[in-house]
Amino acid sequence: MARTLITGGLVITAAEETPADVLVEDGKVVALARHGSQNWTAEQVFDASGRYVVPGGVDAHTHMEMPFGGTRASDTFATGTRAAAWGGTTTIVDFAVQTRGSSLRAGLDDWHAKADGNCAVDYAFHMIVSDVSEPVLRELPGLVGEGVTSFKLFMAYPGVFYSDDGQILRAMQRAADVGALTMVHAENGPAIDVLVEQALAKGETDPRHHGEVRRALLEAEATHRAIQLARVAGAPLYVVHVSAREALAELAAARDLGLPVFGETCPQYLFLSTDNLAEPGFEGAKYVCSTPLRPKEHQAALWRGLRTDDLQVVSTDHCPFCFKGQKELGLGDFSKIPNGLPGVEHRMDLLHQAVVEGRISRRRWIELACTAPARMFGLHPRKGTVAPGSDADLVIYDPHAVQTLSAATHHMNVDYSAYEGRTVTGRVETVLSRGEVLLDRGDYLGRPGHGAFLPRSACQYL
């Protein structure tokens, strides 16, 4: 029996903060006890005095190796999950993609083939449904049976991932029938495409116009429509990457009515803004993602939504493209810049910075980054908490260490950092995944293939 002991730390979960020693046996947490109160022995002992012991992060929105805009996200499952581990994230939920004209089965098999044997941390899949038809919807129960219990539909990107309202309604009905959670990318894609065409015709080709044409009102309108469609379908709804305060207001209103509607935001919407999209030259391309970054004023509304639980989860939407050769595909035409930002490595630290700045409490930090995503996507209590019986996915976190985020030091396979030069207080010191040490004081000990596929149960908020 392999035993590991973490002594002297402050154990923080979504529910409580307890000074406790943590005993790990065969990859599971087996007991917590008051500091020094037990005569536990172990082959491996970590002294976490003056540090936090928190659950490994659960990033419920990543896109490793995703094809987009004629290129492919630059992190593989090997590089992206390694970077996740460096940042204290020990579970990712990535989006398998259905290619138009193919089955969900083919898309899911493709994603298993990319991930299998390559991941440093545990992983699960959502499924992007980009071709809603009767035969495709008949595949849903099979996927749910295999632990893929959430499906993403796009109201944006006509001709690529887009589904019309009828397709969305049908998919929501069937997802509800099989106990799955429908996720929606809520932006009015056809209307945005008109504005893109008009902007380009006027010679407005710079990255900042990406943010201008993808209007907040078109995010809010699509969010409202998705909520009404979900109501008609009798389906629960999870709105991904919420960035506009007007869209958040739609979610809050729905939740006030008691509807099973949930929302996620991402660090880029909390810490970055249209000021970044307007950086000189072509620099703004580094910040092109959809939904887009918004003017700074939206950030206060998002922080408030996180405090009031109108937003329940912070994920990264990690979808990196190198500046050289990938973002540059959109030189002279912002609509050709591949959409997405790198971030899987920095979510735990950026949210801890919010604790330092007094925006959220320590427990809310853990709830947003670990516990709520695990519950939302059927992984709790195996993941997302520190409790007897849970996987020993544990992070020893130094809340006082100061670090500067930079492409020169990050581990994501991308040639820039969206947070270049930003100093944050707090740093991951040691990371365990199912009791195995992946990282210890700057030494990376993880390996591709340690990470295992996690079949998920249904959303645990329903």
CB nearer to Zn ion: pick between 185 and 456:
185
Task: Kindly state whether residue 170 participates in binding Zn ion, applying the rule CB under 5 A.
Answer: no
Angle (deg, nearest 10), helices 297-308 and 245-256: 20
Q: How far is the CB of 42 from ligand URP (least distance, A)?
A: 42
The rounded distance, in Å, linking the Cα atoms of 82 and 151 is 26
Instruction: Figure out which of the listed residues 114, 185, 352, 380 binds Zn ion, where binding follows CB under 5 A.
Output: 185
CB nearer to ligand URP: pick between 221 and 317:
317
- Subset of 263-322 contacting ligand URP (CB under 6 A): 289-290, 317, 319
Task: Kindly state whether residue 75 participates in binding Zn ion, applying the rule CB under 5 A.
Answer: no
The rounded distance, in Å, linking the Cα atoms of 151 and 177 is 13
Partner that binds at residue 289, options ligand URP, Zn ion, none, CB closer than 5 to 8 Å by kind: ligand URP
Q: Of 112-120, 310-318, 350-358, 404-412, which segment contacts Zn ion by CB under 5 A?
A: 310-318
Q: How far is the CB of 115 from Zn ion (least distance, A)?
A: 17
Enumerate the β-bridge partners of residue 29: 24
The rounded distance, in Å, linking the Cα atoms of 425 and 421 is 13
C-alpha distances in Å from residue 235, one per residue of 3, 128, 229, 258: 44, 17, 8, 13
The rounded distance, in Å, linking the Cα atoms of 206 and 200 is 9
Q: Which two tokens stand for residue 108?
A: 């899911």
Partner that binds at residue 384, options Zn ion, ligand URP, none, CB closer than 5 to 8 Å by kind: none
Q: How far is the CB of 156 from ligand URP (least distance, A)?
A: 7
Q: Of 178-186, 196-204, 365-373, 446-454, which segment contacts Zn ion by CB under 5 A?
A: 178-186
The rounded distance, in Å, linking the Cα atoms of 456 and 146 is 8
By beta carbon distance, the residue nearest Zn ion is: 185
CB nearer to ligand URP: pick between 95 and 365:
95
Instruction: Figure out which of the listed residues 7, 339, 385, 417 binds ligand URP, where binding follows CB under 6 A.
Output: 339
Q: Are 336 and 328 in contact (CB under 8 A)?
A: no
Contacts with Zn ion: how many residues (CB under 5 A)? 2
- Give ∠ CA 315-316-317 in degrees, rounded to 5: 105
* Among candidate residues 328, 240, 345, 350, the one with its CA nearest the CA of residue 284: 328
- Residues sharing a CB contact under 8 Å with residue 15, sequence separation 6 or more, in sequence order: 363
β-pair type (181-185, 150-154): parallel
Which x/- pattern, by CB under 5 A, does the window 434-453 give for Zn ion? Answer: --------------------
- Subset of 13-72 contacting ligand URP (CB under 6 A): 63
DSSP state of 453: B
- Residues sharing a CB contact under 8 Å with residue 112, sequence separation 6 or more, in sequence order: 96, 125, 453
Q: How far is the CB of 113 from Zn ion (least distance, A)?
A: 21
CB nearer to ligand URP: pick between 282 and 444:
282
Q: Are 302 and 247 in contact (CB under 8 A)?
A: no
Q: How far is the CB of 363 from ligand URP (least distance, A)?
A: 28
Partner that binds at residue 340, options ligand URP, Zn ion, none, CB closer than 5 to 8 Å by kind: ligand URP
Residues that bind ligand URP (CB under 6 A): 63, 185, 241, 289-290, 317, 319, 339-340
